[in-house]
Structure 1
Amino acid sequence: MSENQPVTTSHAGPEQSIQPRQPVVADSERRARLSDLAEKLGQAVQVKRSVVGKIETMQRARQAAQADADAAREKWREKLREGDGTLTREVQKLRVAERSALSLAEEYASFEEEIAKDMPRVELEAVDLASKCISLRSAVIQEAAQQLYDETLMQITDSLALAFEVFCRAENSGLPSRQKSTVDELAGQFFWRINRHICRRLDDAPVGATSPRD
């Protein structure tokens, strides 16, 4: 449009009006997926707790068996010293008890190591599910916010169009054709004023802001 061409505005027809954005994935489907992921995450956390619990149980059992072995060793050595090195039946029993406890401690240690090997996989699964939950939750919130924005914009579009038309006519009223502002120029001024009103409404007006016409 030429700078000298008078401004004319018209309301958009139904086919030109802003249509609400259609989400690629329905909101209900996103929420269902989020619920499913949250359930799987809860299960993964329970599995991790179970694995940690088993490891701690094996650790306590190993420590107890080691303590029994240490106690048996201390007793048979003491008995051996008291008997001037004589290998009595009681000493033999204590040595058997020590070996049995040590063997049991080794078994518990082996179980603990075997269970611990599964921990990285369990932790990785939990972290992956948590990441997916956070990402999808953000998508659900963003989608809801976008839908609200689209609906609100649709409600005010006609009012803004009418206000802009009135503004253009008022600004160019009584001016010769060559002095009339273009649509782009008027749009800049119009939306600058809209921005000022919004900022005031939010009590957050920009400091030192100037009009495009200044």
Structure 2
Amino acid sequence: MDDSSTTKTSTQTAAPTVAPTAADSRTAEQRQKFNDRCTALRQAVDDKHAMHDRVAKLKQLQSAAQGEADQAKAAWSSALRESNGEITRAIHKLRAAERSALALVEEYEVMAQELATDSERLELRVAECHADASGVRHGLVALAKDSTYAKFLNEGADCLAAAYQLYLDDANCGVPYRSQIDPDQLASNFMRKVLADIKSRGGSHAAKAIIASAIGVGAVPHAGVDPALAASPVRRMQLRKKLGLQS
């Protein structure tokens, strides 16, 4: 077969290209937005953990400085008694060492207060990033709901309509006209049955696979997030006000 025949065959068998719809483009845009929000959330959580490590290290240093001060105080107090109250050079050095250690303790306390404010800012940042990502995911759920229902109408609504008509025919088959069940009552009975069947299949692997495919993203990361703060716009607003941040 020559090249022209091969090209012709390939052209004939190629699948038609389906242009993305506006809904497809919107979904793709929201998925990218969600991924960006989750990346920002993970970075905020990493910064929060790094801040906790800094605070823990600072507490260790403060505790060590306090221990040095206590040790120096005990040493010069003992030496003072041994010298019968005379201030020796060794005692001067020990008292200076105590003062130096206590100065460090005080400075570490000031630093701890500064870091406490920074920690609250990071906690707020994490909560806001989580709230933003959750909002975007909710938008994806809404888009998936509409697209999945449209798919059902295209692929399954006719089968459901046929099942409903068969249900009506079966219920009143051979029943005199005056004794036939009211169509509205039959419709209510049928939809009650459909709803029960839908609920029973809601947790199936097939249903979960359809949901995952329609949404196209996973859950919002929760590790390192204060759930109460993330879920409460009021609490976040109060914390922003406390920190002197603009609303």
TM-score interval, smaller chain: 0.5 to 0.7
Identity %: 27
The reply on whether 1:27 has 2:52 as its aligned counterpart is no
1:148 match: 148
Provide closer, same or farther for how the CA distance between residues 149 and 68 of structure 1 changes in structure 2, counting only shifts above 3 A.
same
Provide closer, same or farther for how the CA distance between residues 201 and 123 of structure 1 changes in structure 2, counting only shifts above 3 A.
closer
Letter in 2 for 1:103: A
Letter in 2 for 1:33: K
Provide closer, same or farther for how the CA distance between residues 142 and 56 of structure 1 changes in structure 2, counting only shifts above 3 A.
same
Gaps of 5+ in 2: 1-21, 202-247
2:52 match: 52
The answer to whether the 8 A contact 2:168-2:186 is kept is no
1:89-128 equivalent positions in 2, closer than 5 A: 89-128=89-128
Tell me, what secondary structure is at the counterpart of 1:87? coil
Per-residue deviation, 1:70: 0.7
Per-residue deviation, 1:188: 5.1
2:10 match: none
1-side partners of 2:199 and 2:101: how far apart? 74
1:1-214 equivalent positions in 2, closer than 5 A: 23=23, 26-160=26-160, 186=183, 189-190=186-187, 192-193=189-190, 195-196=192-193, 199=196
TM-score (norm 1): 0.67
> What is the aligned length?
178
Tell me, what secondary structure is at the counterpart of 1:118? helix
Provide closer, same or farther for how the CA distance between residues 100 and 200 of structure 1 changes in structure 2, counting only shifts above 3 A.
closer
Render the CA deviation track for 1:163-204: whole Å, top value 9, x for unaligned.
Answer: 66788899699x99xx7x9xxx64653463354366468779
TM-score (norm 2): 0.59
Of 91-100 and 146-155, more deviation after overlay is shown by 146-155
Provide closer, same or farther for how the CA distance between residues 158 and 191 of structure 1 changes in structure 2, counting only shifts above 3 A.
farther
Render the CA deviation track for 1:129-174: whole Å, top value 9, x for unaligned.
Answer: 112223332432443244222211222334455666788899699x
Structure 1 or 2: larger helix share?
A: 2
1:14 match: none
Per-residue deviation, 1:118: 1.4
Provide closer, same or farther for how the CA distance between residues 162 and 110 of structure 1 changes in structure 2, counting only shifts above 3 A.
closer
2-side partners of 1:65 and 1:196: how far apart? 73
Tell me, what secondary structure is at the counterpart of 2:155? helix
2-side partners of 1:107 and 1:203: how far apart? 63
Gaps of 5+ in 1: 1-21, 205-214
1-side partners of 2:95 and 2:194: how far apart? 91
Letter in 2 for 1:70: D
Larger radius of gyration: 1
Per-residue deviation, 1:111: 1.3
1-side partners of 2:48 and 2:151: how far apart? 44
Render the CA deviation track for 1:67-93: whole Å, top value 9, x for unaligned.
Answer: 101100100010000011111111111
Tell me, what secondary structure is at the counterpart of 1:26? helix
Of 48-57 and 149-158, more deviation after overlay is shown by 149-158
Provide closer, same or farther for how the CA distance between residues 59 and 187 of structure 1 changes in structure 2, counting only shifts above 3 A.
same
